[in-house]
Amino acid sequence: MLDLKFVRENPDIVKQNIKNKFQDSKLPLVDEVIALDAECRTTQQEADALRAEKNQISKQIGALMAQGKKEEAEEAKKQVTEKSTRLAELETKEVELREKVTKIMMIIPNIIDPSVPIGKDDSENVEIEKFGEPVVPEFEIPYHSEIMESFNGLDLDSARKVAGNGFYYLMGDIARLHSAVISYARDFMIDRGFTYCVPPFMIRSDVVTGVMSFAEMDAMMYKIEGEDLYLIGTSEHSMIGKFIDTIIPEEQLPHTLTSYSPCFRKEKGAHGIEERGVYRIHQFEKQEMIVVCKPEDSKMWFDKLWQNTVDLFRTLDIPVRTLECCSGDLADLKVKSIDVEAWSPRQKKYFEVGSCSNLGDAQARRLKIRVKDANNDKYFAHTLNNTVVAPPRMLIAFLENNLCADGSVKIPEALRPYMGGKDKITVK
């Protein structure tokens, strides 16, 4: 959410930013919120003046009564009553106006970084760099579900009976591989100085609206019926929520956390989920990283975060590339975002396995996450997040890139301690 003062003083910048995000339908909101804000401030000024007059008259009543001026005292009481009635009207109006202003401000997108390429959607994202040499083996690589099933490692039919499409059972070596990747990612991030965290898997609505836009919430979140709780779509939501309504001493920054959690997502187009695959699913597990830092440090941390994911995938012999997300592909709260994509030898192309985002002070402003400096001045923190790994999608890249001609899957050295020392898993 933008600073309302910034919107008042820079309406043209805000409008150009909306155009750069190809959200022209939101352009009228800028003038509308400025007008509502002006009306709200005028109402507040009138209410403040009326409140002062009322207090002054109230003080006079006692003195008039003491002087025996009963009629004048009664007249003063009538004035107080009249002013109280008008004050109540103004206070109600002020609350309504503030609610309207806040609702619009929650919709106006954050100002994107000047380095973000301008484009309508993800088809116009820009490749930055490749890491590792993409290889296409001479033998044919089966579809990922077939690879998993060859190890008796995937049961979609039973999951469909139990929970419906978009769910799965992982079994045996594939289930163990799944857990090994998560455990390895946890230790990888701890070794890089991040504090390990297991967060709540449900969050309240004020946290949901603090970390994402309304459109994202409707598209992603499952609500718990009858309660003010949502299942998390990613653990960064509850980790950022950990700092809601706090004032952090500047010397304590940065806060760097890495978390494990299950994640639950509606997934738009869920009825089109591929029945025999685990690429787009309603439930998955994830290792995440977040940073809460000073504004001047957020660019540095952004580069560190996506590099962590690249480094981890390379230790598992998976070629990856980074893509700069264009303006039209950025969620409304994001200032800048980079996707990490893994190489798929079967498809002969890259596919997304993680996303790194700098949200500036947007989440902190919504959640009231403030920093207090040495002079006791307060300002909003910057927040960032990035995927470490998110199996089972990540397993697709792992299995394809480590598949051997005989159907076995080699285990990279870094992962062997988490697989009981195995250097490969073999077909059942």
Bridge partners (DSSP) listed for residue 264 = 283
Q: How far apart are CA 55 and CA 52, in angstroms?
A: 5
Equal fold, 4-105 vs 122-425: no
Are 309 and 331 in contact by the 8 Å Cβ rule? The answer is no
Query: What are the structural domain ranges in the chain?
Result: 4-105, 122-425
Give the per-residue pLDDT at 74. 74
Give the per-residue pLDDT at 284. 93
Q: How far apart are CA 169 and CA 159, in angstroms?
A: 6
Q: How far apart are CA 183 and CA 263, in angstroms?
A: 16
For residue 270, pLDDT beyond 70: no
| pLDDT tens, position by position, 341-380 | 999 999 999 999 999 999 999 999 999 999 999 999 999 9
Q: How far apart are CA 259 and CA 306, in angstroms?
A: 16
Residue 287: strand, helix, or coil: strand
Mean pLDDT score across all residues of the chain = 93
For residue 330, pLDDT beyond 70: yes
What is the CATH topology of the domain spanning 4-105? Helix Hairpins (1.10.287)
> Based on C-alpha coordinates, what's the Rg of the chain?
28
| pLDDT tens, position by position, 140-183 | 999 999 999 999 999 999 999 999 988 999 999 999 999 999 99
Give the per-residue pLDDT at 82. 83
Give the per-residue pLDDT at 268. 59
**C-alpha dihedral, 34 to 35 to 40 to 45, nearest 10°:** 100
For residue 226, pLDDT beyond 70: yes
Distance from the first to the final alpha carbon of the chain: 53
Q: How many CA atoms lie within 13 A of 162 on its CB side?
A: 8
**C-alpha dihedral, 178 to 400 to 290 to 121, nearest 10°:** -140
Q: Which residue has the higher pLDDT, 393 or 314?
A: 314
Give the per-residue pLDDT at 276. 57
What is the CATH topology of the domain spanning 122-425? BirA Bifunctional Protein; domain 2 (3.30.930)
Percent above pLDDT 90 for the chain:
82
Q: Which residue has the higher pLDDT, 73 or 266?
A: 266
Q: How far apart are CA 94 and CA 54, in angstroms?
A: 18
Are 224 and 232 in contact by the 8 Å Cβ rule? The answer is no
Are 381 and 361 in contact by the 8 Å Cβ rule? The answer is yes
| pLDDT tens, position by position, 184-214 | 999 999 999 999 999 999 999 999 999 988 7
Give the per-residue pLDDT at 238. 95
For residue 275, pLDDT beyond 70: no
Give the per-residue pLDDT at 54. 82
Give the per-residue pLDDT at 237. 93
* 378: number of Cβ within 10 Å: 12
Q: For helices 27-66 and 11-20, give the axis angle rounded to 10 degrees.
A: 140
For residue 273, pLDDT beyond 50: no
Q: How far apart are CA 246 and CA 63, in angstroms?
A: 46
For residue 76, pLDDT beyond 90: no
Residue 422 tokens read as 């195995």
